[in-house]
Chains A and B, each alone.
Chain A
């Protein structure tokens, strides 16, 4: 498997640094938009991994919050980027983030209500035991 992924990693590294150490050091000392996007992507993938692997339904909800938060980070980073390209009133990303937070709060309230109702009926929080809709 490592022989398969190693060329891809080398390609990514070369793309990011043009193959030079001083370029890499400069980009570490001066993080720009792409660094924020990478952080957002990593948080997103961690959230996806949590949703796919965990059995506890509450931890799955928390992973979904992590995913939404990664999206928020991308929105804010691009909002700042648009402000810096001369688009002075480009705060659409921040406005959208407010709505994402509102929807996340509503989702958490409804989802946790469902969890409580399920626990009352089925006495479990493990998702592989909640299979009422399985045919």
Chain B
């Protein structure tokens, strides 16, 4: 897998954008700025996915992460975190903890880079022949693909293959994932209920209701639904 020409240029543009946006996510003082930088980082990584020939995953990334998860994040920031940084308070942890974490991260990145360098060299020598023989095959397959309407590119069957393997080989994990999402929805609804909502469905211990009603007289007036 070697990119060349414009692909290489776009690779560097999006790689540097992803890393810079990631750094700014971690360093921004305001949580809303953090979320916006994280959105740009995710978009840059989605562009890298397109360069790697994974168009479907890039689309899922933009729809689910940027369109779903990050909007949820922004809503929660607006509910919970309105001007928390301005109201005072350190952005970072205690200085000693920050120093130790930074040293740890430096060691981690050096170790990872070393492992990638050494491991990739071994991978290259192992797969040299396979890559060379597969290249001709792959080019032949590229020629067989249908052309797009603009005649400048070819329509890949990548998404089709991902869908096939998803339903053929990973159908059980797929169903488990849907159950996981259902549990997550129900769990977050349960977690985010207010005390009043909990009292309304008679889901509180009587002594808790009594203690809270002493503080908030409105609570005593909400009768249980059942």
Contacts and interface: CB of A to CB of B under 8 A. Distances in A.
B208 interface: no
Main SS of chain A's interface residues? helix
B166 A53 contact: no
Contacts, number: 273
Given A12-B110, A77-B52, A102-B180, A30 B120 contact: no
Given A32-B2, A109-B188, A116-B192, A104 B57 contact: no
Given A49-B101, A91-B165, A12 B108 contact: no
Main SS of chain B's interface residues? helix
Given A46-B26, A49-B101, A69 B45 contact: yes
B60 to A, nearest CB: 6
B144 to A, nearest CB: 12
B56 to A, nearest CB: 7
Interface in B70-101: 72-73, 76-77, 79-81, 84-85, 89-94, 97-98, 101
Nearest to A124: B84
Contacts of B102: 49, 53
Contacts of A43: 18-19, 22, 41, 45
A94 B25 contact: no
Interface of B: 1-4, 8, 11-12, 15, 18-19, 22-23, 25-26, 31, 34-35, 38, 41-42, 45, 48-49, 52-54, 56-57, 60-61, 64-65, 68-69, 72-73, 76-77, 79-81, 84-85, 89-94, 97-98, 101-102, 104-106, 108-110, 112-114, 116-118, 120-121, 123, 127, 130-131, 133-135, 137-138, 141, 158, 161-162, 165-166, 169-170, 173, 177, 180-181, 183-185, 187-192, 194-195
Interface of A: 5, 8-9, 11-12, 15-16, 28-39, 41-50, 52-56, 58-59, 61-63, 65-66, 69, 72-73, 76-77, 79-81, 83-86, 88-89, 91-92, 94-95, 97-99, 101-110, 112-117, 119-120, 125-126, 128
